[in-house]
Chain A
Amino acid sequence: MGGISRRRFLEFGAAAVATTVATSKRSHATPNFEGYPEGMGVLVDLTKCIGCRSCEAACNKEHGLPKPEKPFDDLSVFDERGHSGQMRRPDETRYTVVNRYEPTQGGAPVYRKIQCNHCNEPACLTSCFVNAYTKTKEGAVVYNPEVCVGCRMCMTACPFYVPGYSYSSATNPVIVKCNFCYDKRLVNGLPPACVEICPQEALLFGHREELIAIGKARIKAEPDRYIDHIYGEEEVGGTSWMYISSEPFEELGFDTTLQKKPIISNVMGFLGMVPMVLAIWPALFTGFHLLAKKKGGEDGHDSERGEGE
């Protein structure tokens, strides 16, 4: 019947399953994506930041964000705390904030700028089921509000809690976050607005690979000054924005427990199985069903059931 025997069908099915498993195995073996070779980044040297908040002001102007209640030269914002005592965070009105930390060992306060770190393998992108996120070859992680359905999975997926949500908009809320000034500056070979205005050049803009080399050189030149670590070189698979510091990172609000592997590596094994299940199983089991039915017809199951009624 149909020119295909049951044996041949089973052989074909088994071969297809084997192929899919082999394919997903191969994708597991692929080394993690380590960013585009031409990808840009920013190295934040926390020892150089003076907490002037110029970057916040420049970002606000660049993106046409609403003017805050307190002007950007008001340094009392460093004392602001949220409901559960947390420091200021980026949100729909500000893509970046600077916070002040008092080192436990004493000494001068340390200022830390927060914004999207533009991961090499972004968890927001991984979690988004409508592909609203793109990691561009320039290094930016950009978001497309046109396709976003507002599920906010990216907000929970981000290991740095960066994406904000425009809760103020009742009709068309969207995700808001730093986009590395991608559309106006990065594609034109210009540094982001915050980098450009930084008086201390605490923010160093360049190719990510070069920035890592510079960071390592600074640490090597002044080993007593710097912690021997570039935050973002390896965290969650590497980020385009990286930090070097004189104080332990965990004292400056950095999550130092993050895995080195990209977040996607936690789910890749499972997700690799999904296409196999979706594509192969229906065909396979339909085949089994058809064969079983044919055999059942010969055995007269139908008539048996008919008799039972």
Chain B
Amino acid sequence: MTSKRKTTVRLILAALLMLALPAWASAADAPDVIAIDLLERYYEGVEFEHAMHVDIADDCYVCHHHTVGTVTVEMGCADCHEESDATLPIACKKCHDPNPFSAAQIAKRELEGRRFHIDKPGLKGAYHRSCLGCHEEMGAPNGCDDCHRRNEAGEELFGLGPADM
């Protein structure tokens, strides 16, 4: 009984939180620095300076498409999301899958990828295309090792490590 009540309370709290969250979603609430460790197999983590990029970017939609409630002008997005409110998933990884070529993701892509969110890249692709595309345009650092420091496995992979011997 107690555990059931606890669950109910948690559910209500979660629901309240979900209602409240979109209203909170402004750049000021986002962490100033976001640690990204997607490529930890070969690289050390990347510290993404969110606050700095908020100052530079024209608008939130440049990276966040329609998810933060700002008006989006991107073709494709605007058809459905021109006036949509902020959505709960804000972080890139909530929509862009870190494992886009798994059988499940390919099946999902084939099922819905023709109607909406067409040709949506996976998380790694989304990061690199978004970051690198802009960095090239803005003349910002765009070499691999400008952002990524290889770990031991990475050094080995690229033919610089101990396996070389």
Contact = CB atoms under 8 A, between A and B. Distances in A.
Interface of A: 48, 50, 52, 57-58, 60-61, 67-68, 70-73, 189-191, 195-196, 198-201, 205-207, 210, 213-214, 217-218, 221
A205 B107 CA distance: 12
Interface stretch (B64-72, B84-92, B124-132): B124-132
B106 A207 contact: yes
Interface string B89-122: 0000000000011110010011001100011011
Given A200-B129, A201-B129, A207 B110 contact: yes
Listed from nearest, the 7 A-B pairs whose CB atoms lie closest are A201-B125, A191-B101, A71-B159, A189-B103, A72-B158, A199-B128, A205-B101
Contacts of B100: 201
Given A67-B159, A210-B106, 19 more contacts: A67-B164, A68-B159, A71-B159, A71-B160, A189-B102, A189-B103, A195-B101, A199-B125, A199-B144, A201-B122, A201-B125, A201-B128, A201-B129, A210-B109, A210-B110, A213-B114, A214-B119, A217-B119, A221-B75
B52 interface: no
Nearest to A205: B101
B152 to A, nearest CB: 14
A72 B109 CA distance: 32
A73 B145 CA distance: 10
Contacts of A190: 101-102
A67 B163 CA distance: 8
Contact of B124 (A60, A191, A199, A210): A199
B156 to A, nearest CB: 8
Contacts of A217: 118-119
A71 to B, nearest CB: 4
B157 interface: yes
B119 A218 contact: yes
A57 B132 contact: no
A206 B109 CA distance: 9
A70 B132 CA distance: 26
B157 A58 contact: yes
A201 B126 CA distance: 8
A182 B141 CA distance: 37
B65 to A, nearest CB: 16
Nearest to B148: A199
Interface of B: 75, 100-103, 106, 109-110, 113-114, 118-119, 121-122, 124-125, 128-129, 132, 144-145, 157-160, 163-164
A64 B165 CA distance: 14
Q: Most chain-A Cβ atoms within 10 A of its Cβ — which of B124, B145, B158, B160?
A: B158
A189 B104 CA distance: 10
Contacts of A201: 100, 121-122, 124-125, 128-129
A189 B144 CA distance: 29
Contacts of B157: 57-58, 61, 72
Nearest to B41: A197
Contacts of B129: 48, 200-201
A229 B42 CA distance: 36
A137 to B, nearest CB: 15
B83 to A, nearest CB: 23
Contact of B159 (A57, A199, A210, A221): A57
B85 to A, nearest CB: 27
Contact of B125 (A52, A73, A200): A200
Contacts of B113: 210, 214
Contacts of B125: 198-201
Given A191-B101, A201-B100, A206 B159 contact: no
Nearest to A58: B157
A195 B100 CA distance: 11
A54 B146 CA distance: 16
Nearest to B102: A189
10 contacts: A60-B159, A71-B160, A73-B145, A73-B160, A199-B144, A200-B129, A205-B101, A206-B101, A210-B106, A218-B119
Given A72-B158, A73-B158, A200 B132 contact: yes
